[in-house]
Amino acid sequence: METRKISKSKNKYKICADVVDSANGLKQYENIRMIRVKSREYNLLIMEDYLPVIGEVDGYVEIIFDDETIKLENIHGYYMHKKNKFSLLVERASGELEKTYGRIN
């Protein structure tokens, strides 16, 4: 299980995320700046205190921090965002986890 934690004094952002898939198990992330969901039918940008939402994604999800971006590409799954907690259940993924550092793409 991969966990990215920052001490309480350094947390700038309230969003945290749980990502579950069969290949990697549970991964938890904290101090997330924003989450981008890109599906066939829609684009969604989730920031702090965003309204509760539940949906299905067929595309990609980006978890964006200040210093890096984690991109889950070519996935099909289900997500929920409520009270600054984002949960993603990946049903199938044909791409690998990609990290980019620095600039947001």
Residue-wise pLDDT for 55-89, tens only, equals 999 999 999 999 999 999 999 999 999 999 999 99
- Give the integer Cα–Cα distance in Å for 75 and 52: 22
**pLDDT score of 99 more than 80:** no
Cβ pair 79, 50 in contact under 8 A: no
**Residue 70: partners with Cβ closer than 8 Å, 6 or more residues away:** 29, 62, 63, 97, 98, 99
Q: What would the mean pLDDT of 24-40 be, rounded to a whole number?
A: 96
